[in-house]
Structures are given as C-alpha cells and as structure tokens.
Amino acid sequence: MTQVESIGADLGGTKLAVGVVDGVPETLWEEEVPSRGYSQEKVVTLLAGQINKAHEARPEASSVGVGIPATLDHETGRAISTVNLDLEDLPIGEMLRDEVKLPVAIDNDGNLAMLAEAMYGAARGSRYALLLTIGTGIGGGIWAGGEIYRGASGAGAELGHFVVDIDGHPCQGNCPNRGCVESMASGTAIGRLGREAAESCPESLLGRQLAAGEEIDARVVHEAAKKGDRAALDAINVAGHYLGQALVSFANVFQPEVIVLGGGAIAFGELLIAPARREVEQFALKPMNGTPVVAAELGPAAGMIGAAVYGRMEAGVS
C-alpha cells in the first residue's frame, strides 16, 4: 500500500527543520537551515522556499503542516505573539498559502510535537500526557482526552512561561516575566548558567574555555559535562532543578499519564532529565509523584513529524 506523504515544517528560534514524512512515519527527505534573527518577511520567504524545495524533492507530498513558536489564532493561522522570533500579528498561514501550492495548516510547535509523541512516540496509547520542547526557549503541548488541548481561542498551553522563580532571570524576547521555566531551564538558560559557573570556577574546563575567549553556549556546556567537568555538570543540574519545579506543578494540576521532554536540548539526556524527575518524585502530590518523566522517542524531529501529520489530518488526507 502506498503511504501518503506530507511536508512538515518546524520553525524554531534558532533553526527551521523541514521534512517529508509518510504515514509510518518515516522521514523521506529533511533539511535544516538557520532562522535566528530573521525579519517577518524573511521568515515567510524562508518557510515558503524550504517547503517548495521539499515538494520538488518529493512531488508526491499532498499537504503541509507548519509548527511555529507563537500563540496564534487557530482558525486563521495568524500569529498573535511570540518570544524568540519576530512573528507578532503576522498572518503567516495566509501568506504561506499564497506561496505554496498545497493545503497548509498552522499550529503551535509544542502542540505538534505533542501530537507526534502521542501518536507515534513516548506518549503513544495515553489519553492524558504533557510535553515540553526544550531548545532556544521552551514550548509545550497538552494531550487531554485523546486530543490536543488548545484553550479558549487556541492560544493555550504556553507551558514555558510558567514562573518557577519570581526573582529569577528576565525571560527572553518580549515576555514581560522573570523566572519563567524558559528563562531558567532552556538551552539558552543552560548556556547562561554555564557562563556563570565558568566565572565562579576559573580552574574548571568551562572556566579555562571562557578565559580563552570561547563562547560558552549549551553545546559547549554539554561537551564539557560529557568530559566530567564539575562546573558544566552543576550548571545542567541547576537547570534540571528548575525544570523539575515546573513539572511538579504540571503533574499536580494536570495529572498526566506521562511527561515527555523533547527538543534539541534533550541531547543532554539523563544529565537534565534525572534532576527534573527527582523533583517530581520528591515534591509532587501522591499519586502524581509517580508520573513517568521520559525523553521524547522521536527526539528533536517530533515537531517536524507532528507538523506533517497535522497537515495531513487538516487536509483530510488519509
């Protein structure tokens, strides 16, 4: 039986991943390009160009789904607000439909990663689940009663902006809060915590790298941690602690069957997940303290796969 192919685009604060996915789901074509610092016009041009490139590579693709890091009007595909990219009040769905000769469906990137993990990944078989995508920022999605929870107007489940420290670091972009879990446990936050640890421990590997003029970002922190550097390990542990504080509240409020952690920063694996899981085990109420906290089975590709699946669903293609 021929598998229906669909194009999925996962737009993040740092990169855009576009792929062609069949119903297995198997990724048949994929490409990543940078997206950081792009203007509204350039973001739309980039998206349309990569989607059309994917369609040229796989002409059998019959629909498009796009995940964007923004609150949005679910009916129109208009971005309402965003933190890490300039998408404010952008009719991105309408603009893409003018440039792409396929049906296009738009949703929040966290929602689509949740959809993929619920259908094919770590939350498969669950009726109630919760997912955080940890990358430049932190997105989220909620699976409730076997479907995506979107709130009254479709803009809900902005889990990355749950405050874990009211006196914490200012949040990123245009978020007016301090101490959001995004500002305390994202990949961006891990880079900042690594720089702070390097300054406090100049004799550490991170400290020596900082003194040599190297930029300390999440990737550098991860590499140092894999070599056993205490400063790097401490930075990741602090991020995991804050992440876990958010998960405690999410577990208590939503009582999911499973909490899934995805996004690029999940490359940290148990270095980040274990301290977060311990917070849930120690501080969530019973029985929520037994909620499994696991890595996304689809990895960083969950958003792209979920976008492709959503595009196919909205187009009515089976």
* C-alpha–C-alpha distance, residues 66 and 44, integer Å: 11
Q: Give residue 107's pLDDT.
A: 94
pLDDT for position 264: 87
Give whole-number Cα distances, 283 to 91, 241, 245, in Å: 42, 12, 8
Query: Among 31-35, 40-44, 101-105, which stretch is predicted with the lowest mean pLDDT?
Result: 40-44
Q: What is the pLDDT of residues 202-248, one digit of tens each?
A: 999 999 999 999 999 999 999 999 999 999 999 999 999 999 999 99
* Domains of the chain as residue ranges with CATH: 6-115+300-315 (3.30.420.40), 123-296 (3.30.420.40)
Q: Which residue has the higher pLDDT, 72 or 169?
A: 169
Average pLDDT for 19-44 = 92
Q: Which residue has the higher pLDDT, 152 or 147?
A: 147
Residue 34 predicted with pLDDT over 50: yes
Q: Is the pLDDT of residue 40 over 70?
A: yes
Length of the chain: 318
**56 has a pLDDT exceeding 90:** yes
pLDDT score, position 318: 64
CA atoms within 13 A on the CB side of 73: 12
The confidence score (pLDDT) of residue 140 equals 95
Q: What is the bridge-based pairing of β-strands 104-108 and 64-68?
A: parallel
Q: What is the pLDDT at residue 254?
A: 98
Distance CA 256, CA 239 (A): 22
Q: For residue 2, what pLDDT band results from cuts at 50, 70 and 90?
A: low
Tell which wins on pLDDT, 72 or 75.
72
Mean pLDDT of the chain: 94
pLDDT of residue 154: 82
β-strand 27-34 against 78-82: which pairing, if any?
unpaired
Query: Tens digits of per-residue pLDDT, 79-89?
Result: 888 877 888 88
CA-CA distance, 147 to 142, in Å (whole number)? 8
Could you tell me the pLDDT band of residue 1, with boundaries at 50, 70 and 90? very low
- In this predicted model, which residue has the larger pLDDT, 88 or 182? 182
Mean pLDDT in residue range 245-271:
96
CA Rg, the chain, in Å? 19
Given a cut of 80, is residue 55 above it in pLDDT?
A: yes
Residue 139: its pLDDT value, please?
92
* d(C-alpha 16, C-alpha 199), whole Å: 33
Torsion of CA 47, 49, 50, 56, to 10 degrees: 140
Q: How far apart are CA 62 and CA 83, in angstroms?
A: 31
